[in-house]
Amino acid sequence: MTSCRWLTSTDKKTQELVQQELLEIDFNEVDTYPLFENCDETQTKNGQRQCFEQEVLANCARILNQYRFVLKANTNKNVLVDFLVDQNGKVSVLRIQKDNSIDVLMPEFNQLITQGLEELPPLAPALKRGIPVKTKFRIPIVLNNAE
């Protein structure tokens, strides 16, 4: 004779192991950051992040440098851009936080930033346990007056 009790025990142990594993996973961190072709995937996680951020900021700067904007002296020149890199490596802008006077002086600013991010070179998505995942980022952009 056999009993179903043995099967329940194995299932219960499996469930406990899965629950324990889920508790140990930090869902706020990725194992590897999104990578551009010129970024080295063997770098440390911090190195990957720096390469990713430098490439993003350089592309935004390239787009903005094509235009000449004049800001008033009392304008807050700090802009925060929130964007998403999806599991396919596609970038989309979520939100742009900036001084309202920038909208008055540069009504096309949001469009330029969005264009700069959407025209990034091909990008491999972030990975968590070997699986491509969506990741949100925030980059600061400081607008400087040309002297």
Full DSSP string of 52-107:
HHHHHHHHHHHHHTTS-----TTS--EEEEEEEE-TTS-EEEEEEE--HHHHHH-T
Residue 114 vs residue 22, higher pLDDT: 114
Q: What digits encode the pLDDT tens for the residues 29-53?
A: 788 889 998 888 888 888 998 999 8
What residue type is assigned to position 98 of the chain?
A: K
Q: What digits encode the pLDDT tens for the residues 86-129?
A: 999 999 999 999 888 788 878 888 998 898 888 888 899 998 88
Residue 22 vs residue 119, higher pLDDT: 119
Q: Average the pLDDT over 72-77 and give the result.
A: 68
Q: Average the pLDDT over 20-36 and give the result.
A: 71
Q: Average the pLDDT over 10-28 and give the result.
A: 63
- 29-142 maps to which CATH number? 3.30.1150
Predicted TM-score of the model (pTM): 0.74
Report the C-alpha gap between 91 and 83 in whole angstroms: 7
Task: Return the domain boundaries, the chain.
Answer: 29-142
Residue 28 has pLDDT above 70, yes or no: no
pLDDT at 96: 93
Q: What digits encode the pLDDT tens for the residues 57-67?
A: 888 888 878 87
Q: Average the pLDDT over 127-146 and give the result.
A: 84
- E-assigned strands of 10-87? 35-36, 78-85
Question: Which of helix, strand or coil describes residue 42?
Answer: coil
